Amino acid sequence: MKIVVGHLYPDYLNIYADRGNIAVLARRASWRGHELEVRTVSVGAPVEPGEHDLLYVGGGQDREQALVAEDLVAKADGVRAAVDSGAALLAVCGGYQLMGRSYRDFHGGDLPGIGVFPLETVAGETRMIGDMLLECELEPGVARTLAGFENHAGRTKLDPGAEPLGRVVAGFGNDGESGFEGCRVGRAVGTYLHGPLLPRNPWFADWVLAQALAHRLGEPPVFEPLADDLEQQAHTVSASRARSRGGRR
C-alpha cells in the first residue's frame, strides 16, 4: 500500500537531522511491503484534505519559524481538516510549537500557531538541553519508553485536560516543571524529542506508520516485529545517557 506523507517545510525546518525520521519511516514501510511517497509542502503550497496519510514537520530556530509561520496559518484549515479526517501528524520541536496556538520568541515577537494542539509556548531566557527519557502509554495498559534529545528555550504549557505524549523520566520536557512532554490529539503527536527521534525508538516509528495506514484502512494494523537489535541498542544508550542526568529536571 502507498503511504503518502506531506513533509512541511523541509527546506526551512530541518535541524538536528530531523529529516532522518522520514528515512526511518520509508525503510520500515518498505520492509513491510509498503511504499512511502513523500511530497514536499513548502511555502505557497496548500494542504488538501484527504491527500496525505501523514503530515510531518521538523524543527527549526526562531528565524526559520518566523519565515514559515504566516504561510502555515494560510494552510491551517487544510492541516486541521486533514487531522480531523484521520490523517496522522508528527510535529517536532519548532514544528510542534507552531502546531499550538502561538509561540512568543526570545525577542518578544508573537508567532501565530494553527491550534492543532491545545497549547501555547513562550521562550525562556535559558535553553533546556540534553538527553531525555519519557514513559508513554499510547495504547491502554501498554507502557513504553521514548528516548531522544531536547534543545529548546520554549516553555510549552498544555491546556487543562490536554493529553501529553508522555511523562518525563529524565530531562526537562515541555516546560521543566510539569513533568510532561509533548502533546497528543488522536493520531497527531507533537514532541521536543529529536536528534532524530525515530531511529532510536522503533516501536514509536511503527506506531506512526500504523496511524498513517489507519487513515486508509480505518484501523491501525498490527505489525509483525522486525529485527531491531541495533535500534534497541541505540535506544538503550540514549536512555542511559538521559538517566545519568539524575532524574527529572
Verify whether residue 107 is a known catalytic residue.
no
3-state DSSP percent of the chain in helix, strand and coil, to 5? 30, 35, 35
Q: What is the dihedral of CA 38, 42, 47, 48, to 10 degrees?
A: -60
Contacts of 22 (CB under 8 A, 6+ apart): 5, 7, 36, 38, 56
**Does residue 249 fall inside a structural domain?**
no
**Does residue 235 fall inside a structural domain?**
yes
> What CATH number should be reported for the domain holding residue 67?
3.40.50.880
Mean pLDDT (whole number) for 234-247: 89
**Does residue 108 fall inside a structural domain?**
yes
Catalytic residue among 93, 136, 152, 235: 93
Verify whether residue 194 is a known catalytic residue.
yes
- Note the pTM of the prediction, 2 decimals: 0.96
**CA-CA distance, 168 to 182, in Å (whole number)?**
10
Catalytic residue among 7, 152, 194, 215: 194
35-92 confidence digits (pLDDT tens): 999 999 999 999 998 999 999 999 988 889 999 999 999 999 999 999 999 999 999 9
**Does residue 68 fall inside a structural domain?**
yes
**Does residue 48 fall inside a structural domain?**
yes
**Does residue 248 fall inside a structural domain?**
no
**CA-CA distance, 73 to 111, in Å (whole number)?**
10
**Does residue 205 fall inside a structural domain?**
yes
pLDDT given at position 17? 80
Question: Using 50, 70 and 90 to split pLDDT, how confident is the model at 243?
Answer: very high
Number of domains in the chain: 1
Across the chain, which distance is largest between two alpha carbons, in Å?
A: 49
- Domain holding 101, by residue range, is 2-243
pLDDT given at position 162? 98
**Does residue 23 fall inside a structural domain?**
yes
β-pairing, 188-191 vs 183-185, is antiparallel
